[in-house]
Structure 1
Amino acid sequence: MSESKDILNELLRSGSKKAYEAFFKHYYQDLFLWANSILKNSEAAEDVVQEFFISFWEKKRYKSVSSNLQSYIYRAVKNACLNYLQREKKLIHDIENLEEKESAPKANEQSIENSQLIYSAINELPEKCKEVFMLCCVSGYTYNEAAEELGVSMNTVRTHMVRAFKMLREKLKSPHLFYMLFFHK
C-alpha cells in the first residue's frame, strides 16, 4: 500500500512522464489480468487497460484520486470492462435486429398471407355470427357487453361465438392460423 501511495504522491507532486511510467509499469500487468478475468478476452482486456492508462494520463485523473490509488484504478478498469460488455451486448443486439430485418420481408409475406386467410375466414361467417365475433374478439367486449350492445341474451352471444369458433377452426384448418387469430397482433 505504501508503494501505491508513493506512486500517487509522485504523480501528484511532479505530474512527470517518469512518474507516470513508474505507475504504468507497476500496475499494467495486474490491471490486464483483472480486466481479462472480467472480459474473458485478452485482446479486449488489453484495449480496455490501455484506454484506461491513456485517459488517466491525458485527463490527469490522478488529480482526482484522494487516497487509495489502487482501489480507484481497479474500480475504473472494472467499470470500463462493464461498459465494454454493455457496448458489445448492444452491438450483438443491433446485428441480430439487422439480421431480423433482412429476413423480415419473407416473414412479412407469410404473415400477410396468413392475415388474409384469417380475414377471409372471418368475412365468410354468417352476418350475426360475424358481428358478435367482431365485438367480442376484436373490440374486446365481454359476452355481457356484446349482449347489451346487440339487444340479445348472453346465451345468444355464447351460441354465436361457439359457431364462429367452430367455423373458423374448420376454415383455417391449421392450428397455427387459429392461434394467430387470437394471440398475434
Structure 2
Amino acid sequence: MVTNLNMSDQDLLSLFKGGDTAAFKMIYERYWQLLYVSACKVLKDEEEAKDVVQEVFISLLNKGATLEINVSFSSYLYTAVRYKVFDYISRKKVRQDHLDTLDNYVSAGNLCTDHALLEKEINDEMEKEIQNLPEKMRIVFELSRKAELSHKEIADILNISDKTVKKQINNAIKLLKPKFINHYFLLF
C-alpha cells in the first residue's frame, strides 16, 4: 500500500504492476494535469484533451502487470499521449474527409449508388491496409496523407529527421500501392 507521497515513479510503477490500486491513483494524480496540458496544447480543445488523457490511463490500467517500459515512466506517458493525440487528429481528419466527400457527391448530383458503394469498399479496404502498417510507419503516413502535414512538421512533432519521414512514407506507399493498383481503374 502506497503511503509515501514522495515515492519515485519506479517504485510506484512496481507497486502498480503488483496490483496496488493506490499506486495507480497516485500515478494518475501526479501526471493527469501535466498530460492534459500537453494534449490541450496540440488539440486546442479541452474535452478532446481530457478524452485522450483518459484513454492513456485506461490503457495503462488495462496493461497492468504486463506493462513493459524501456524509458523513464514520464517519457513513456508523454509519448503515449503524443501518439493518442496524433491518432485522434488522424481519425478526426478521416471522418471529416468522408463527410466532405459525401457532401461533394450530393451537392454535385453525382450520387451514383454503384460508384459510391465501390468507392466505399475500396476506402474501407485501404483503411484496413493502412491500419496493418507497422505502428510508426502508419502514424507518419496518416499524418502526411490524412492530416496533410509537411515532412518537416511531422519530423518536428515526432522528433525524427525529415529523411526518416520521407523514407517511412515511401515505404508505406510501396506496401500499399500493389494492393490497390487495380482499383484505381475501377473508379475512373
Q: Which bin holds the TM-score, normalised by the shorter protein?
A: 0.5 to 0.7
Question: Residues 5-24 of structure 1: matches in 2 within 5 Å?
Answer: 5-12=10-17, 14-24=18-28
State the Cα distance separating 1:47 from its structure 2 match.
0.4
8 Å CA contact retained: 1:35, 1:48: yes
Letter in 1 for 2:77: I
Whole-Å separation in 2 of the counterparts to 1:61 and 1:73: 16
CA contact (8 A) 1:52 1:77 kept: yes
In the alignment, what sits opposite 2:101?
A: 97
Which amino acid counterpart does residue 4 of structure 1 have in structure 2?
Answer: D
Q: How does 1:74-153 map to 2 (within 5 A)?
A: 74-105=78-109
Q: Which residue is equivalent to 1:128?
A: none
Instruction: State the Cα distance separating 1:65 from its structure 2 match.
Output: 1.4
The AA in structure 1 aligned to 2:53 is V
Identity of counterpart residues, as a percentage? 30
**Structure 1 pair 61–93 and aligned structure 2 pair: CA distance change class (3 A):** farther
The structure having more radius of gyration, on CA atoms, is 1
In structure 2, C-alpha distance between the alignment counterparts of 1:3 and 1:55, rounded to whole Å: 21
Matched residue, 1:4: 9
Aligned to 2:51: 47
CA distance in 2: counterparts of 1:90 and 1:17, whole angstroms = 37
Question: What letter matches 2:43 in structure 1?
Answer: L
1:64 counterpart SS class:
coil
Which of 59, 62, 66 is 2:63 aligned to? Answer: 59
Q: Give how far 1:59 is off.
A: 2.5
Distance in 1 (alpha carbons) for counterparts of 2:111 and 2:7: 64
The offset of 1:40, in angstroms, is: 0.9
- Structure 2 CA distance, aligned partners of 1:106 and 1:79? 37
The Cα offsets for residues 94-152 of structure 1, whole Å up to 9 and x where unpaired, read as 110010011121799xxxxxxxxxxxxxxxxxxxxxxxxxxxxxxxxxxxxxxxxxxxx
Give the whole-Å Cα distance in 1 for the aligned partners of 2:16 and 2:71.
13
**d(CA) in 2 for partners of 1:26 and 1:10?**
15
CA contact (8 A) 1:4 1:69 kept: yes
The 8 Å contact of residues 32 and 53 in structure 2, kept in 1 or not, is answered as yes
**Equivalent residues in 2 for 1:160-175 (5 A)?**
none
CA separation of 1:61/1:84 partners in 2, compared to 1, >3 Å: closer, same or farther?
farther
Following superposition, the deviation at residue 16 of structure 1 comes to 1.6
Alpha-carbon distance in structure 2 between the residues aligned to 1:107 and 1:28: 47
Alpha-carbon offset, residue 2 of structure 1: 7.2
Q: In structure 2, the residue corresponding to 1:19 is in which secondary structure?
A: helix
Rounded to whole Å, the distance in 2 between the matches of 1:72 and 1:103 is 46
Where structure 2 has 5 or more consecutive residues not aligned to the other structure, the ranges are 1-5, 113-187
